[in-house]
Chains A and B, each alone.
Chain A
């Protein structure tokens, strides 16, 4: 017999402002940022010395020595040292996946409370020694005699002294995420103007949200930064129109630094719990995590776009919950690139694509664009890969809470490796 389940409550969130790469947080490690973010959450909800059920978090760019990144961050935080923790990694889906994992354990009654989070730095990124050098050193390490060791060391060549710098490229295709997105943008005929308009809306919405104090209880300043460093409140279509395309080739190239997310550093965390736990602690319930779904697509040999997996995940999630795409008060579609959001919406409106590729009798249809990313998204805030899920979950939960009971929001996040993570929140 299946155990009765309950819906996990989202109590609140905290993040540090996101910084542009090699800037304010250049000296901060993943562990530094995650610890600071956890401590901010602890301070906000009075969790000092509290033993929580679990902390699940992760980073996309992670050094091997950070195998226990989340547990180490917990040990360095003001949470009780007896709070267990584990690392999660699902590329840009990491943060939302971590929230789903914690929420599911709460739903099953295995946890009463937990934190889900994510962190990433592209400034303090791990660098690996050259693969050939690594193999030489492994051989030296396993040598048993001096002669064997000398023989192994003789394999060193000057070229091997150059380190390997992580590239933002898909291992199987050798194409960067931007190049992949440019292919999808061309396939779906996503224009330059609409991309720039979406980017401007993201900046304006995020700036307005900061101005009205929306983030006062969601963001804790860090290293002198109080707002996301990438945010340009005065962004305009005219200014963005002057930028040269950076992804795609030739005349049809539409993707610029202005309508693509920049590399950023940052961390986020979300506090989840059962309704009973929140009530006992006197903590608010902003929303509940209703359901979630992942999907993956064959972007290597199958002809589907790298970032199109959420397009496949959402109809499955809607069907299981008896909902249509229009049954939502807010949509949070992660802005990896403006063109990604627009291709996602266009695909859901396309009868042929919905029938042939998604197997749907009728297309999901259009959404009310005034409900999309109303407080800005990754184009303005930046996108420290694993930190984006926590930013979105906390933002949407608060939005739903503000709007009153019974409101519903949809989260859609695309991830490297042709994956997508989507979820429904409800106040």
Chain B
């Protein structure tokens, strides 16, 4: 039986990142069965407005499809920062994100959020783990999220399944849009999301973790791409995105879109080299 802990308030992310860095060594074992939850969480209207602006979503009474991730993320970090978690948080790379938008979430709703870890899997370059989230309102699940993280060099437990980090898309040759992604994109998204991972904030702090420059948050790239399809997304949808090459800041990138099976395939690529930063699918559910 999974142990479920209900937190009274959102965990402090900067403190968690610090604690996780200090306790990075000597981790191992299997995933904990712990579930962290918060109940009756109101949406911060100012945060939702700032988030919409930074990602390019229109401001409406319905939350952007990616927004509930912001409520789940601090709980997921708390789970990963806990010494019982087998992988070290610093150095984890977000490689895939799936969202099931079961029904549109009103910005005025009070939300119950629950997160857990599962699917410890073997990857050619290490091990992956999925951090899952379920968001409900009034006892009805309205949103599900699954973030797959890769721990390079880590070892999955014996008998672990193979990691599944591939998302297939059609050829996306036509450029729907071109964006200049400014140097402060990471800082802007950190401010509205609370994800203050140093690899996103500045060249200096990113270099400390082995990146030549700051890189954009994968969740920002995903949100920005979905925002470009505002008004065209199914009300209830399954979103599945794979993060490929890091998007160094600043950059100019292109968005490719194609209508597929009543939804969309999309890709965000570097405008110069064509390197893929993100590929994804959106399907009606």
Counting CB contacts under 8 A, is B232 at the interface? Answer: yes
Residues of chain B lying within 8 A (CB to CB) of residue A303: 174
For residue B174, which residue of chain A has the nearest CB?
A: A303
Residues of chain A lying within 8 A (CB to CB) of residue B264: 301
Within 8 A of B (CB), among A166-208: 172-175, 183
Q: Are B259 and A301 in contact (CB under 8 A)?
A: yes
> Which of A174, A183, A300, A301 lies in contact with B179, CB distance below 8 A?
A174
Q: Are B229 and A301 in contact (CB under 8 A)?
A: yes
For residue A303, which residue of chain B has the nearest CB?
A: B174
Residues of chain A lying within 8 A (CB to CB) of residue B175: 173, 175, 183
Counting CB contacts under 8 A, is B178 at the interface? Answer: yes
Q: How many residues of A contact B (CB 8 A)?
A: 8
Q: Which of B178, B232, B259, B264 has the most CB of A within 10 A?
A: B178
For the complex formed, measure the closest distance between the CB of B177 and the CB atoms of chain A, giving whole angstroms.
4
Within 8 A of A (CB), among B151-179: 174-179
For the complex formed, measure the closest distance between the CB of A221 and the CB atoms of chain B, giving whole angstroms.
42
Residues of chain B lying within 8 A (CB to CB) of residue A175: 175, 177-178
Counting CB contacts under 8 A, is B66 at the interface? Answer: no
Q: Are B177 and A172 in contact (CB under 8 A)?
A: yes
CA A78 to CA B128, docked complex, whole Å: 76
CA A114 to CA B93, docked complex, whole Å: 65
Q: Are B174 and A174 in contact (CB under 8 A)?
A: no
Q: Are B177 and A300 in contact (CB under 8 A)?
A: yes
Counting CB contacts under 8 A, is B16 at the interface? Answer: no
Counting CB contacts under 8 A, is B180 at the interface? Answer: yes
Counting CB contacts under 8 A, is B221 at the interface? Answer: no
> Interface range on chain B: under 10, 10 to 19, 20 to 34, or 35 or more?
10 to 19
CA A290 to CA B73, docked complex, whole Å: 61
Known contacts A301-B229, A301-B257; A173 and B174 CB within 8 A of each other: no
Within 8 A of A (CB), among B225-277: 228-229, 232, 257, 259, 264
CA A303 to CA B179, docked complex, whole Å: 18
Residues of chain B lying within 8 A (CB to CB) of residue A300: 176-177, 228
Chain A positions 150 through 180: 1 when the CB is less than 8 Å from some CB of chain B, otherwise 0 = 0000000000000000000000111100000
CA A404 to CA B264, docked complex, whole Å: 55
Residues of chain A lying within 8 A (CB to CB) of residue B177: 172-175, 300
Residues of chain A lying within 8 A (CB to CB) of residue B179: 174
CA A301 to CA B263, docked complex, whole Å: 12
Residues of chain A lying within 8 A (CB to CB) of residue B176: 173, 300-301
For residue A302, which residue of chain B has the nearest CB?
A: B259
For residue B266, which residue of chain A has the nearest CB?
A: A301
Residues of chain A lying within 8 A (CB to CB) of residue B259: 301
Residues of chain A lying within 8 A (CB to CB) of residue B228: 172, 300
Q: Are B257 and A174 in contact (CB under 8 A)?
A: no
Residues of chain B lying within 8 A (CB to CB) of residue A174: 177-180
CA A172 to CA B179, docked complex, whole Å: 9
Q: Which of B176, B180, B259 has the most CB of A within 10 A?
A: B176
CA A183 to CA B264, docked complex, whole Å: 22
Q: Which of A172, A300, A301 has the most CB of B within 10 A?
A: A301
Known contacts A301-B257, A301-B259; A173 and B232 CB within 8 A of each other: no
Residues of chain A lying within 8 A (CB to CB) of residue B257: 301
For residue B257, which residue of chain A has the nearest CB?
A: A301
For the complex formed, measure the closest distance between the CB of A394 and the CB atoms of chain B, giving whole angstroms.
37
CA A173 to CA B229, docked complex, whole Å: 12
Q: Are A301 and B178 in contact (CB under 8 A)?
A: no
For residue A173, which residue of chain B has the nearest CB?
A: B177
Within 8 A of B (CB), among A118-158: none
For residue B177, which residue of chain A has the nearest CB?
A: A173
Residues of chain B lying within 8 A (CB to CB) of residue A173: 175-178
Within 8 A of B (CB), among A289-311: 300-301, 303
CA A175 to CA B232, docked complex, whole Å: 21
Residues of chain A lying within 8 A (CB to CB) of residue B178: 173-175
For the complex formed, measure the closest distance between the CB of B241 and the CB atoms of chain A, giving whole angstroms.
17
Residues of chain B lying within 8 A (CB to CB) of residue A172: 177, 228
CA A243 to CA B264, docked complex, whole Å: 41
For the complex formed, measure the closest distance between the CB of A158 and the CB atoms of chain B, giving whole angstroms.
13
**Additional 6 contacts, C-beta under 8 A, given A173-B176, A175-B177, A301-B229:** A173-B177, A174-B177, A174-B179, A175-B175, A300-B228, A301-B259
- Give me the 6 closest cross-chain CB pairs, A-B, nearest first: A174-B178, A173-B177, A301-B257, A174-B179, A301-B176, A174-B177
In the assembled complex, 10 residue pairs joining A and B whose CB atoms fall closer than 8 Å, in A order, are A172-B177, A172-B228, A173-B176, A173-B177, A174-B178, A174-B180, A300-B177, A301-B176, A301-B264, A303-B174
